[in-house]
Structure 1
Amino acid sequence: MKFAYEDLSEDQFEKLIVLLCQRLLGMSVKGFAKGPDGGRDAKFVGTAELHPSKAAPWIGTVVVQAKHTNGYNRHFGESDFFSPKSQDTVIGKEIPRIAKLHNGKQLDHYMLFANRRLAGNADQNITQHISKECNLPEGSIYLCGLEQLELYMKQFPDVPSLAGLDPVDSPLIVSPDELAIVVEAIASHDTDLSSVLDMPPSERTSYEEKNALNNMTPEYSIALRKRYLKDTAQIRGFLAAPENLEILKSYEATAEEFQMKIISKRKDFQNFDVVMEYLLDLLFQRDPILRQKQHKRLTRAVLFYMYWNCDIGEVVDA
């Protein structure tokens, strides 16, 4: 079974890795609480049970780190994760911490798990870089990406269950795929959004009532209406055109997914302003089409249209 690791929270992913390391290293693997952990998510002291092998196990202090991303199809070799010329990366920020622990004799071996794809050249380059910068033997460094993580989940099928990988406990995570189709299609349409008259779609619940029901602040609702109301007629007309039936289906699939996820996680957010901005941040992070400069405003406009058109958020019961 494949798991959507990108849909987990950081805490869930870290718990999964700690439980996995208890199988690979030993039951005394200890996870750490949130806070200034000095570069450690978990630690093991002793002789490893299975890693790297039963015949030649690691001996000493093993420091484990789990690096989670909500992004799709991310890689170890991406510039935000590793660049030998920059310290402003995930690996670059960890190098001083690893070196400090090693120099203080608090680290003999280092393991890093990430829900990213790990190519052979990236494995070699990152391992060599950590080894050089931290004066740590390459044989004492282990990187684990998605491919190997999937193999471990098959080898230790009880680990996901013990980690409580239950969708009920997952964060508010939505897929950007269908929305990207809608945004890209509207963006390529000939009509200029800015030229459309201010003609809103038919409302099932008035904007004011909807804002009160969803606890959207007046300041945020006014700003949304001022910036994106003029776009709603264009979006509605585009989706209603017979030749755009497939785009309409993508829009409806997106709105349905967003609404059900919002309902299930609404209690986690103080007001609907935060829900909207959280979704936008997530969408821009997860999809390269939506985060393009020319598509960001349109993405916001489509999300506003969903809210204005009562496709997401609470409404007055009929």
Structure 2
Amino acid sequence: MKYAYEDLSDAQFESLIVFLCQRLLGISVQGFAKGPDGGRDAKFVGTAELHPSKAAPWIGTTIIQAKHTNGYNRNFSEPDFYSAKAANTVLNKELPRIQNLRAKKQLDHYMLFANRRLAGNAESEIRKHISIQCGLPESSIYLCGLEQLEVFLKVFPEVAALADLDPIDCPLIVSPDDLAEVVQALASHKDAVGALLDDPPTARVSYETKNALNNMSAEYAKAQRRRFLKETAQIRAFLAAPENLELLHLYESVVDEFQFKVIAKRKDYQTFDEVMEYLIDLLFSRDPVLRQHAHKRLTRAVLFYMYWNCDIGEVDDAETD
């Protein structure tokens, strides 16, 4: 069975890796804990049971890192994750911590798991890079991508159950596909919809009332309204046009998914500001159309329209007042 690893939370992915490493290394693998420098590592001290093999197991201290992303079809070679030259990458940010542990003789072997695809040439290049930068033999470095992770879970099927890979426990994850189609269509027809109107439609409930119900901060609400309120008229006109009926249905499917997911996971966020920003970050990370520079503002505007139009968020019974 294949799992949607991108739909897991960071904590769920870390839990999965701990249970897997308990099979590969030994039951005494210690779970991920935040270190003094803010990083999160798991650790095993002793002789590994199976890794890299029973005949020649690792001996000593093994440090394990798990790097999770909500993005689709990501790989180790993407410039945000690894670059031999750029310092501001996921991997290169970890190198000083590995170097420090190595210098203190608190690291003999290093394992990195990520829900990204890992090609053979990239594996060799990255392993060599870590070896040179950290003074660690290449034979003491192990990288695991999606392909090998799938193999491990077939060999150890109980690991997924132990990690509670249950869709009900997944974080606030929504699909960006339908929204991307709506945004792309809206962007291409924006001029035909008409100029921005000075009198945008009235909200179905008082904006202040809705903000109070949803615990949206006054500062965030004011900034949202100032930047995107006028665009709600264009979006409404576009979706109401008879020729855009199919896009309206796509929009409705999006808001249904968003609203039910928000209701289910609302307790995980203190303010609705956090919900909105989490959704935006998630949408941009998971869809190349939405994260295009030309579409970023429009995506935010459509999400604001959903909130303003009471398609997402709590409205109580105020709309009937």
The separation in 1 between residues aligned to 2:271 and 2:95, in whole angstroms, is 39
Give the direction of change, closer, same or farther, for the CA distance of 1:30–1:245 in structure 2 (3 Å limit): same
Give the direction of change, closer, same or farther, for the CA distance of 1:267–1:173 in structure 2 (3 Å limit): same
Of stretches 94-103 and 153-162 in structure 1, the one that deviates more from structure 2 is 94-103
Of stretches 142-151 and 227-236 in structure 1, the one that deviates more from structure 2 is 227-236
Q: Displacement of 1:190 after TM fit?
A: 4.7
8 A Cα contact 2:95 2:134, kept in partner: yes
Q: Displacement of 1:97 after TM fit?
A: 2.1
The separation in 1 between residues aligned to 2:211 and 2:101, in whole angstroms, is 51
8 A Cα contact 1:62 1:107, kept in partner: yes
The separation in 2 between residues aligned to 1:225 and 1:135, in whole angstroms, is 53
Q: Displacement of 1:24 after TM fit?
A: 0.7
AA at the equivalent of 1:282: L
Q: What CA deviation, in whole Å up to 9, does each residue of 1:89-130 have, x standing for no partner?
A: 122122222233223322221110011111111101001111
The separation in 2 between residues aligned to 1:136 and 1:176, in whole angstroms, is 41
Matched residue, 2:183:
183
Matched residue, 1:140:
140
Give the direction of change, closer, same or farther, for the CA distance of 1:247–1:230 in structure 2 (3 Å limit): same
Quick check: 1:274 aligned with 2:274? yes
In the superposition, the TM-score normalised over structure 2's length comes to 0.91
Of stretches 186-195 and 289-298 in structure 1, the one that deviates more from structure 2 is 186-195
User: CA RMSD of the aligned region, Å?
Assistant: 2.2
8 A Cα contact 1:228 1:301, kept in partner: yes
The separation in 1 between residues aligned to 2:101 and 2:217, in whole angstroms, is 47
8 A Cα contact 1:177 1:287, kept in partner: yes
- 5+ residue gaps, structure 2, are none
8 A Cα contact 1:179 1:254, kept in partner: yes
Secondary structure at the aligned position of 2:66 is classed as strand
In the superposition, the TM-score normalised over structure 1's length comes to 0.92
8 A Cα contact 2:172 2:265, kept in partner: yes
Quick check: 1:246 aligned with 2:251? no
8 A Cα contact 1:82 1:91, kept in partner: yes
Q: What CA deviation, in whole Å up to 9, does each residue of 1:15-67 have, x standing for no partner?
A: 11011000011111112422326866111122211111222222222111111
Matched residue, 1:10:
10
Of stretches 226-235 and 23-32 in structure 1, the one that deviates more from structure 2 is 226-235
Matched residue, 1:265:
265
The separation in 2 between residues aligned to 1:264 and 1:79, in whole angstroms, is 34
Secondary structure at the aligned position of 1:191 is classed as helix
Identity %: 72
Q: Displacement of 1:271 after TM fit?
A: 2.4
Matched residue, 1:73:
73
1:1-318 superposed matches below 5 A: 1-36=1-36, 41-191=41-191, 195-198=195-198, 200-201=200-201, 204-317=204-317
8 A Cα contact 2:33 2:42, kept in partner: no
Secondary structure at the aligned position of 1:95 is classed as helix
Secondary structure at the aligned position of 2:113 is classed as strand
The separation in 2 between residues aligned to 1:280 and 1:64, in whole angstroms, is 30
8 A Cα contact 2:118 2:146, kept in partner: yes
Q: What CA deviation, in whole Å up to 9, does each residue of 1:220-246 have, x standing for no partner?
A: 333323322222222122222233233
Give the direction of change, closer, same or farther, for the CA distance of 1:253–1:121 in structure 2 (3 Å limit): same
Q: Displacement of 1:301 after TM fit?
A: 1.0
Q: Displacement of 1:150 after TM fit?
A: 1.4
The separation in 2 between residues aligned to 1:38 and 1:196, in whole angstroms, is 46
- 5+ residue gaps, structure 1, are none
Give the direction of change, closer, same or farther, for the CA distance of 1:299–1:71 in structure 2 (3 Å limit): same
